Amino acid sequence: MTTINIIESLTREVDLMVGGDWINGLIGLMRELIKAKGEPNLNTKGRRTIYSLGDRVQVRIIELAEEDVDRLCSDWQDNKIKPIYLISKRNNYNALAAEVFPPELWKKFRECARRIQEALDWGSEQRASYLIIRIENSLSMAEEMLINNELADSDLGDADANLRNARANFCEMEEKTHIRTVGLPRVAKKREISVEKLLADLEDREKNARIRLEDLEDQAEKKRLEKLQAEQRKIDQEFIKRAQDAREMKLEQTIQAISRRSREAGKSAREFLEYVKSGNPGKANACLVVIKRYEGGVPPVFQELYGKLLRTQ
């Protein structure tokens, strides 16, 4: 292809593309123009034409680059794009700035990469500030709740949830390098405090609140256990009382049945109970002998009472 044909072809491409907004196509066209400037057979007029075409393409690239970065920064502030997309765009502009382009275009690519980096740094600062405020609010709510010595289980659970939220925000700051290395120092600087002091103060508050929570949880668990033990004792006492009432009723029914059959045996049965209560096994045994003579045997309930009396002596 002759130099005239090259210039005509490039002119048509420039006329077609400078009216559009395809920045990558224009950058590719600029590369072609730069290559064309090195054509050995290019005359002075042709060289001026190439330079003129390059100026037109450069102006349009600069316009589109500025619009691109303005849109990126706006979308970033509105949370419409992810950090990784912004990082990719910054890397692209840095790569373009590393190529051989006219000075004004090279400066614009460097400026675009710098503006995107500033937007990323701003985003990290905003996120770090948000996380610090979340941590402070969570700790304050937990601390306020933990002032009370008498907390319901639900309140202890809420305090624990606040402390867990604070820890989750701590972890996010630790895991995301750009927030930790860029955003956090900016927040600390605005607060006129070192990063180390800012984090240490918050971690001390978290530690003290956790100790306080665990102490209250131990107290609450102790009270729950005491309550359960008291309830169990009450149940046991009621069971013993019912068993005792049933045994006394059975004894009374047995004595009444014996008395209906024999007045003497009935009298000995009541005396037997008195001797058992007073702890006199000899007299109690004498009563059993009388009962056995009239009844032909000793009722099992009397045998059980007498056996217990002997074991206690």
Does residue 54 sit within a domain?
A: yes
pLDDT digits (tens, 9 = 90+) for 65-96: 999 999 999 998 888 888 889 999 999 999 99
Does residue 103 sit within a domain?
A: no
Domain boundary pick from 81, 101, 135: 81
* Same domain flag for 224 and 269: no
Q: Whole domain around residue 285: which residue ranges?
A: 262-312
pLDDT for 5 equals 67
The larger pLDDT score, comparing residue 149 to residue 287, is at 287
* Same domain flag for 165 and 217: yes
pLDDT digits (tens, 9 = 90+) for 96-132: 999 888 999 999 999 999 999 999 999 999 999 999 9
Q: Check residue 79 and report its DSSP letter.
A: T
Look at residue 18 and tell me whether its pLDDT is greater than 60.
yes
- Which residues have a Cβ under 8 Å from the Cβ of 267 and sit 6 or more positions away? 259
pLDDT digits (tens, 9 = 90+) for 232-249: 999 989 998 998 888 888
What is the arithmetic mean of pLDDT over 169-191? 91
Please state, in angstroms and as integers, the Cα–Cα distance from residue 27 to each residue in 106, 109, 114, following that order: 12, 11, 19
Single pTM value for the model: 0.62
Does residue 247 sit within a domain?
A: no
pLDDT for 15 equals 67
pLDDT tier at 295, thresholds 50, 70, 90: confident
Q: What is the largest CA-CA distance in the chain?
A: 152
Look at residue 1 and tell me whether its pLDDT is greater than 60.
no
pLDDT tier at 186, thresholds 50, 70, 90: very high
* Same domain flag for 133 and 203: yes
Does residue 64 sit within a domain?
A: yes
Does residue 295 sit within a domain?
A: yes
Cβ atoms within 10 Å, residue 220: 16
Does residue 241 sit within a domain?
A: no
- For the record, the structure tokens of 239 come out as 């069971």
Does residue 251 sit within a domain?
A: no
* Same domain flag for 168 and 209: yes
Least confident segment among 5-19, 139-153, 200-214, 285-299: 5-19
Distance CA 187, CA 192 (A): 9
Q: What is the dihedral of CA 265, 268, 272, 275, to 10 degrees?
A: 180
Does residue 283 sit within a domain?
A: yes
pLDDT for 4 equals 63
- For the record, the structure tokens of 67 come out as 């619009």
Orientation of helix 195-261 relative to helix 153-175, angle to 10°: 150
Domain boundary pick from 211, 231, 251: 231
Number of domains in the chain: 3
Domain boundary pick from 28, 59, 81: 81
pLDDT for 57 equals 85
Least confident segment among 98-102, 154-158, 296-300: 154-158
